[in-house]
Amino acid sequence: MVMKITVIGIGKVGSTVGFMLAREGLTSDLVLWNRTHAVAEAEATDIQQACAFTPFRVRVRAAERVEDTAGSDILVVCASVPTPPDMSARTILTKGNAQLIRELIPAFAAASPAAVIVNVTNPMDAITWQLIQLTGFPWQRVIGTGTLVDSARFRDLLSEQTGIHPVDLKAYILGEHGATQFAALSIATAGGEAIDATPAREQLLEEAKQSPFRVFQAKGYTNYAVASAAVMIVESVVKDLRHTLPVSVRINGFLQVQDVCLSIPAVIGRGGVCFTMSPRLNEREQANFRICAAAVRTVIEDMDSP
């Protein structure tokens, strides 16, 4: 498989993404870029040596210059300003990360003009929207991990309650990757049978929302779940799997929402988003989706405010 993937930002998440991509053999040429080059170099060496335990031949290297990333098929954006130890909302990162993305990404996009971008940087939906504006890429080639990770957390909790494996639960968290996200239980199924929206199941949404912050408070970061979400998107692109995933994409009229990035089910293949789905949400869920849109627009406006 001839595939060049660059991971931009080699912190806890970026290094985990890089390791998982190499371990799964999803790329033949893995490039790591970090503002502190020595960190990228050390991670590249460690991951390269770990590849000796796999059946794959992967070249792992650290980029000294943006030019070293040229011709990448996929850019995974994990760059972020330092996260405050008392972070209780991802929007705290808005101004710092918006400025960082403005400084970094145009050069990477110019070096790899045909790439698919997978965004991990928070605040997820606003930064995904910003990436579309900065790069000029078609929106289909800019995908945020969005509520894919939230949906996985929700399904994990729902699995404990129902006794059904998480993979077999067709239950989505949609909207914002943030405080206004909602569980679309009106369309949730398992084995073709509806999953009723009981109060106990509604409460699982709140548990799923809070779990990453509990992890963050205990160990100072979260990495495995969100890295797994990013790698699932990358795998669907690399192998043209056409998985239907709840990811952050530009909304073009769904429920009368326009030009804002939110998570809806999207089919992901070689060129990025093949097409998006239009789930038949109930009235309350439709209202929640519009609330999400308003919340993300506020964050976008905050990016450029003094």
Amino acid (1-letter code) at residue 81: V
* DSSP secondary structure of 248-281: EEEEESGGG-EEEEEEEEEEEETTEEEEE-----
The residues spanned by each domain of the chain are 4-144, 148-303
Per-residue pLDDT band for 43 (boundaries 50, 70, 90) equals very high
Per-residue pLDDT band for 81 (boundaries 50, 70, 90) equals confident
pLDDT tens profile 163-177: 999 999 999 999 999
Kindly give, in sequence order, each residue whose CB lies less than 8 Å from that of residue 258, ignoring residues fewer than 6 positions away: 251, 252
Pairing of the two strands 74-77 and 4-8: parallel
Domain 148-303: which CATH number of 3.40.1280.10, 3.90.110.10, 3.90.230.10, 3.40.50.920: 3.90.110.10
3-state secondary structure 67-110: HHHCCCCEEEECCCCCCCCCCCCHHHHHHHHHHHHHHHHHHHHH
Q: Which fold has domain 4-144?
A: Rossmann fold (3.40.50)
Nearest Cα neighbor of 148 from 166, 129, 127, 130 is 166
Model pTM greater than 0.85? yes
Active site residue 37: no
Catalytic member of 37, 165, 177, 243: 177
pLDDT at 93: 84
From residue 177, how far is each of 89, 151, 250 by CA, in Å? Answer: 11, 10, 14
pLDDT tens profile 229-246: 999 999 999 999 999 999
SS3 assignment, position 285: helix
Mean pLDDT of the chain: 94
From residue 167, how far is each of 59, 67, 227, 305 by CA, in Å? Answer: 32, 40, 18, 42
pLDDT at 82: 84
pLDDT tens profile 272-285: 999 999 999 999 99
